[in-house]
Amino acid sequence: MAVYTNLGAEDLAALIAEFDVGELTSAKGIAEGVSNSNWLVETTGKQGDGARFILTMYEFRIEVEDLPFFLSLLDHLAARGCPVPRTIHDRSGALYRMVGDKAVALIEFLPGVSVSHPTPGQARSVGRALAQLHLASADFGQARENAMGLDESRRLANACGTAGMAEIDSALATLVARELPLLEQAWPADLPRSVIHADLFPDNVLMLGEEVTGLIDFYFACTDLTAYDVAVTHAAWCFDGEGRKFNPAISAALLEGYESLRPLSEAERAALPVLARAAALRFTMSRAFDWLNTPADALVVRKSPMAFARRLEFYADPANAGVFTRP
C-alpha cells in the first residue's frame, strides 16, 4: 500500500478542516502511486451532501517547487472542460499545504476505473481526450522542462552501467548503446510544442464504458513536443503487458481519436517512429534503474524494463515502419 507516512485520525481531521469541504467522515489509505502517500477521503461536503477527494502527500521524486505547475495545470484543464480532477484550494487559496517538511494536496475525486484490456472504442476515446488536453493547454501560462528526456535516459544508462544492464538481460546494454546515439542525432526540431502529460498509461486514465471520466497523475507533465505525448501514449496502450504483442486495432483507433480533434502535421507523423523509440527507451531506462536499485523487500513491485525494451525493438524494426502511416 502506498502510504509511507502515517497520519492519525486527529491529524487528518485537522488537515481537512483547512479546506472548505465539510468535516472529515472517513479516510482510507489507497495503493495507487509509488512516490506518494494517498488517501481516499470522505467528508460531509460543503452543503452537507457528502463529498469524496484524494489526499496526496508528496514523499519523494516530486519537487515541491514543481507543485504550482502540476496543480495549477489541473485547474486550467478542468476549467476548459477536460476530464481532469480539480485541485481543491485551502481556505487561504493555497494550492497545497505543508505537514512538517512534506507537501500535501487535496484533489477532486473522479469516478471511473482503469482498464487493463482496452477496446478500440476506448482507445479512440483516450486519443481524443489526449488531443483535448493538448488544445486546452495552449494558453496555460507556465512551462516546465521535461526531466525525463533523452538526457535523462543517457544519465540512467550510465548509472546502470553495462554490467548492471546485463544482470537484467544480456542484450539490453547493446540495445541501449545502439539506440541512444541514433535518437540523439535524429531528434526532430521545429515541431509544435505544448504541455504534455508524458505518462498516460491505462492506469492513469479513468473510464466508464468508452467514456473517459478522468486523466490523472500529472506528475511527469512538462513542456515538450506535442507529438511525443502521442508516442508515449501509443507505447503505453498498444501492446500487451510484456511488450510482446502489438495491437494494430488499438493503434489505429488511438490515432484516429486523436486526429478527430487535432490532426497531426505531416512532419509530426513522419517523426512518430523516432519519438516512439525515445518513449520506449525512456521507460526502459527508468525501469532498469529502479530494477537495480529497489531493495528486494521493498513495498513497491519492480516493473520489468524488458517490456519496454521489446517495444523499442518493435519501433526500431524497419518492417514496422508503416505503423504510423496515415490510412
The better pLDDT of the pair 272, 327 is held by: 272
Q: What is the pLDDT of residues 132-188, one digit of tens each?
A: 999 999 999 999 999 999 999 999 999 999 999 999 999 999 999 999 999 999 999
Which domains does the chain show, CATH number per domain? 9-108 (3.30.200.20), 120-324 (3.90.1200.10)
Residue-wise pLDDT tens digits, 242-275:
999 999 999 999 999 999 999 999 999 999 999 9
Bridge-based pairing of strands 36-43 and 51-58 is antiparallel
pLDDT for res 30: 78
Segment 113-142 shows an average pLDDT of: 97
Owner of C-alpha cell 477521503: 41
Task: Return the pLDDT at 59.
Answer: 79
Closest CA to 281 of 300, 306, 317: 306
Q: Cell numbers 506535442 label which residue?
A: 226
Tallying the residues shown for the chain, one arrives at 327
Closest Cα partner for 218 from 105, 55, 74? 74
Annotate 92-108 with DSSP letters as a single string. T--S-EEETTEEEEEEE
pTM higher than 0.85: yes
Q: Tell me the one-letter amino acid at 33.
A: G
> Do the beta carbons of residue 251 and residue 234 sit within 8 Å?
yes
Comparing C-alpha atoms, which of 52, 47, 37, 43 is closest to residue 2? 37
For 189-234, what is each residue's pLDDT tens digit? 899 999 999 999 999 999 999 999 999 999 999 999 999 999 999 9
The residue to which cell 529497489 is assigned: 294
CA distances from 232 to 67, 158, 183, 236 (A): 22, 23, 15, 6
Residues 297-319 pLDDT 10s: 655 667 899 999 999 999 999 99
Position 244, amino acid = R
Among residues 24, 39, 261, 289, the alpha carbon closest in space to that of 155 is found at 289
Rounded to a whole number of angstroms, the distance between the first and last alpha carbons of the chain is: 44
Per-residue pLDDT at 4: 52
pLDDT class of 130 with cuts at 50, 70, 90: very high
Q: Is 59 in contact with 105 (CB distance < 8 Å)?
A: no
